[in-house]
Structure 1
Amino acid sequence: MSEYTITVIKNENPKPKPAADKLKFGKYFTDHMFIQDYSEEKGWHNPRIVPYQPLVLDPAAMIFHYGQTVFEGLKAYRTEDGSIKLFRPDKNMERLNRSNDRLCIPAIDEEFGIKAIKHLVHIDNEWVPHAEGTSLYIRPFIIATEPYLGVNPSSTYQFIVILSPVGAYYESGINPVKIAVENEFVRAVKGGTGEAKTAGNYASSLKAQEIVAQEGYAQVLWLDGVEKKYIEEVGSMNVFFKINGEIITPMLNGSILKGVTRNSVIELLKYWDVPVVERRITIEEIYESYQNGGLEEAFGSGTAAVISPIGELAWEGKKMEINGGRTGEISKRLYDTLTGIQYGSVRDPFGWVVDVK
């Protein structure tokens, strides 16, 4: 399938580009988008780059009624020499197909998916911002388009990629956030769709986030959906804890998203000979470690923030201030190294960075 030729229709009315200091996450969009169609007769076909525009869908399109959709998130970075790089796009395309399988969506050609992203970014390369800490967010997604109200997998789909210039996640530097442990609502369960990147997972998380935001917390720490004691994710990020010198992250269990940044953190820690383990860990263990002085750091990992230090955890009326509410040494080192690799200022010993030609 990689031999597809991408048709390009240029936007004759390009939009003004926002100033770097005005960039917000997901607010502005570039001049072009990528679209590819799927039908049972033709498979994936008609790949094209067209001017950014509204989608025209039948009101009965199955995406609206049964949520059959998946998405990804990655970034393009402008380096000091002006070139543009992608960070591990193969992992995003690989995960997209795992999500496709769970949602009964036909697999895409991963190599062609990367080719399409590169082509789109190249066309809209002037939208990749130059200011420090800024980047071009890339959102590939697939939606079910068949107009049918039966509860079955759709017979038609569209694979779409849109681009959005975004500002630095931390406007005043990397800062710890306050997190509340969620005891009522559940993010996902084993056998559900938690390990897939699908829209419904995020819609169901909003109520818990809305409640804790009113109490001054940035996000929730999700517990497992069965016993409600094992830690899973923090907000929409994977989570890590440093306890007595060892880094612990919840093991992938069928309900936890296999994060690209999560994998990168684990590989970096091993490269540095820092002890890191993937296992089940309870909130009780975290609290006991806090009480005996063993809880040294906690942080989330994800595409948007890269590393998000946790300065405080609230659980059942108890508050745990971690590392004095300051960013920990490992969190800072990981953030500096990962962003350095992404922007080309730090050597990439893993071959993670890919050029946009």
Structure 2
Amino acid sequence: MSQPNAMLALFLDGNLSFQLTREGFAGSKPRLMIQMHDTSSAATIIIPGYQPSMKGFSLAFALQGGLLDLFDAGSNSKIPVPSNNAQPGELVVRAGAPSQWFNLRFDPCEDFGQGPPEQVPVRFLPRPIKLNVFDEATAPPQFSLSLTPTNKICHLSGEPRFGFKLEFMSHINEVITVCLYKTPLRELHGLEDVAIVEDEGGEEVEWPWGIGCWEGPEPFPSDDNFEELKPGVPYKTTFWLDKFDTRTSTGGELESLQARTRYTGMVSDDLRSGFGNWRRGNKEKLLAGDVKEKEERWKSGSGCSAQSIIEVSDPFTFETAA
């Protein structure tokens, strides 16, 4: 539907796959973008699915409230979704505000079971999000990823040391090898590659950031960029928060936090996707031969599952002290 004088535009993005009754998913989180075209007036949108307390949208409520429609991709037929009586949330959009992205929160265990006082012209950009649903028999391989703080209290003095502890586990019944090249596990630019951390007011922490670059064609990754994972044996590492080191110009994460503050953290999309390039077999087999043989073995689509479902740990909290 085109609205030439639209005050707002709504845009969807994402490609999500999941297995019923499990919390893990594959692909990218569905997101809703709101573009504000009016530079003279603000707008308060009364919109189904928006939850002000979470500063985000519930995909189930958005479907039940009529903000989104659900279609069968094969037949292009609309799938009826029972409505509910959830109160639509109010979202204030400033005049001339930049585009805002909102994650559409989705719980695969959920069952999908009033208009605003004044209508304003809204443009709906025609780009659907895709949901692929698997049953237990057809679901892709499963992984689990856990990110937790090393302590409940982060001392900004640096002692005792504080960090985010990662555990990643494969539930495939054979050995696999994961390529970690250019992921936060081998090339960390900043902690936002690992965790999204917000204070109680919802303001995101801005971590120190480093930029790396490579000129010319990239060589095939060295063997130490590959990790072998056995079934049920977790890969573990810790991302430490340190004070700024003037000698090496590294660290500075602790200076990004405020004392006596409670923070909430969650796994970043970059970390979650960092284990996506894997093959069945051990390192010795998969890294045998010359560079050309390795490149052929590891090129896109040459052996790993097209998708894998990753079950991610819940958001965590910690507090700071001087």
Structure with greater strand share of residues: 2
| TM-score, shorter chain, exceeding 0.5 | no
Structure having the higher helix fraction is: 1
Q: What TM-score do the two structures reach when normalised by structure 2? A: 0.26
Relative contact order, CA 8 A, sep 6+: which one is greater? 2
